[in-house]
A and B are shown apart, each in its own frame.
Chain A
Amino acid sequence: MLVVDNISLRAGNFELKEINFRVDKGDYFVILGISGVGKSLLLESIAGLTKINSGEIILRGRKISDEKIQKRNISIVYQDADLFPHLTVFENIAYPLHSRTEKNIREKVLKAAEQTGIADKLERIPGTLSGGEYQRVALARSLASGNDIFLLDEPLSALDPKSKNDLRALLRKLNRGGITIIHVTHDYEEAVSLANKIGVMENGRIVHVASPEEIFKHPKSEFVAQFIGIKNFLRGELTAIPQSDLKRFSTNGINIFPLTNVNDGEAFLLIQPDEISISNSAESGSARNHFKGKITDIARAKIGIEVTVDIGCELISLISSEAMNSLELKIGKEVWISFKASACKIYK
């Protein structure tokens, strides 16, 4: 339905670099990224509000990159301040409607208002609406426009938790009803609860497009990894070791030896904190990876205690409070950490 083909643009401090993705009819595509990464700019370039420098945007097989905004048939909804403040809710929803008869317009407005649950607010002016109602009116207006592709720019971020849940349900309903949605957010829970496809955005690029399950099972981005609570997620260079099952993973001047058959090159290494053990001496056991480091932090986790050790990069080990007492761990103390080569998960 919508193909974004290698678009790049620079606007002020923001930049989009070679963005590629495809959205099919009925998709709920969430673009996930931290603030300032260029998400809003991407939406505005699709809607035509900002001009792209290169690349193509293709909607239903037609190039729309040079098309005027009003001819693109794409609606955009922001997190706030997008209703016309001098018009009533009714007039806002009726704004995109062209009909000879007033009855026809009224019917269409009512239909959109009922679909979004604001049929009793039609005479109000936008300034008197709650955050959730405000967003519903913006969605109703987009529905009335007849556009079947909506771009949503952090539509839930200004809402209280109850309104957030209600609006999520509405967005799912609209999506099931045939509206294709591209939704940008920095909230991964929002992404998981709504998307059937997620694009992760970092530094003006879409770095990973996949299903939510895939994205969170095999994160290719430190941003996602940090979000879902993965602690030890390192980016580095993987190289083969002749006549060995192990490979060398170099990051920040240290070498870690994982057991993997992933191809050489840039890769991500993941070690669960409970796979890392701590000791006061260089006892090796069967573990292939031993490092001397200094404790930089000790924090209580939901279960057990997380000890952060700086070995050149910071790794977190999850241990029991008994272990912590017997090892007499404290911040600044030098310790040894070890983990098995098979405990290292490598992703490209």
Chain B
Amino acid sequence: MKRYFSNKSLLNLVFTFLGGILLLFIIAPLAGMYLSTSLGSLKEAVGSEEVRNSIWLSLWTAMAGTIFFSFFAIPLAYLLARKKFPLKNVVNGIIDIPIIIPHSAAGIAVLGIITRDSFLGRAGELLGIKFVGNPAGIILAMAFVSIPFLINAARDGFAAVPERLEKIALTLGASPIRVFFTISLPLAWRSILSGFILMWARGMSEFGAVIIVAYNPQTAPVMIFERFTSYGLKYSVPVAVVFVTVCLIIFVTLRLVKKKS
């Protein structure tokens, strides 16, 4: 610590101070929320089946969306990293659209393709899948707003794999599919895993798009909102604390696992 400050200029001191304020901006509200919650109300929230179900619903729907859409996102990311094609920049731009549009608008857009009048809604009905007010709809809403994180991370990961290695593997007689699974995918895996974690985390914390597609069953963010509007801050904070804690535990654990691997 002493060394850090001893030979640093005024510029570093100012930057450290400004950076510190920003960190405080992130930590202080969360810390305030934790400190204002009594142990009793926390116990009550953890004990409530309704709360536990909503957290579980958030976790598994986000995970299901991440896994399902990764089968489409990873091939697309590979093409974007490796191939030149017309309108590639447009495709890259389209991928980022869900990040920049309001999530309530995203929810309305998703709702438009899953109602009974839509093709997807009708097709789902034939197969016995209902989207609106259903986990299937929640999965789509979560995936819509979080998929750019996976595609972008995977694309950067594939781009960082030297193309020469893939070509050498081909000269050794491997088929392009084998090269993808034995060279490109393992070497890009860390980035893909990062994207996976980000997409999952972003999906499970999604509120705006989810509440439009499915008010019920309630995911944790919807329940926090519902308790806040119906009963006030006091009743929403314990649920928020439990959900944030679960998210943090998962996020930190996955980061540690990724670092170790």
Which residues of A are interface residues toward B (Cβ below 8 A)? 47-49, 68-70, 72-76, 78, 81-82, 84-86, 95-96, 98, 141-142, 145, 147
Shortest CB distance B190–A (Å): 10
CB–CB B186/A82 < 8 A = no
Give chain B residues whose Cβ lies under 8 Å from the Cβ of A142. 172
Shortest CB distance B25–A (Å): 40
Q: Is B168 an interface residue (CB 8 A)?
A: yes
Give chain B residues whose Cβ lies under 8 Å from the Cβ of A141. 172
Which residues in window 174-204 of B have CB below 8 A to A? 174-176, 182-183, 186-187
30 pairs across A/B with beta carbons < 8 Å?
A: A47-B171, A48-B170, A49-B167, A70-B171, A70-B173, A70-B174, A70-B175, A72-B171, A73-B173, A74-B171, A75-B172, A78-B168, A81-B162, A81-B165, A82-B164, A82-B165, A84-B183, A85-B187, A86-B186, A95-B172, A95-B182, A96-B172, A96-B173, A96-B174, A98-B173, A141-B172, A142-B172, A145-B171, A145-B172, A145-B173
A-B contact count (CB 8 A): 53
CB–CB A76/B168 < 8 A = yes
Q: Is B169 an interface residue (CB 8 A)?
A: yes
Shortest CB distance B195–A (Å): 19
CB–CB B171/A75 < 8 A = yes
Which residues of B are interface residues toward A (Cβ below 8 A)? 162, 164-165, 167-176, 182-183, 186-187
Q: Closest B-chain residue to A50, C-beta based?
A: B167
Give chain B residues whose Cβ lies under 8 Å from the Cβ of A76. 168, 171
Give chain A residues whose Cβ lies under 8 Å from the Cβ of B162. 81
Give chain A residues whose Cβ lies under 8 Å from the Cβ of B172. 70, 75, 95-96, 141-142, 145
CB–CB A84/B169 < 8 A = yes
Complex alpha-carbon distance, A250 and B186, angstroms: 63
Q: Provided the pairs A84-B183, A86-B186 are in contact, do residues A69 and B171 lie with their beta carbons within 8 angstroms?
A: yes
11 further contact pairs, Cβ within 8 A, besides A68-B170, A95-B169: A69-B167, A70-B173, A70-B175, A72-B171, A74-B171, A75-B172, A78-B168, A84-B165, A84-B169, A85-B187, A95-B174
Shortest CB distance A127–B (Å): 13
Give chain A residues whose Cβ lies under 8 Å from the Cβ of B171. 47-49, 69-70, 72, 74-76, 145, 147
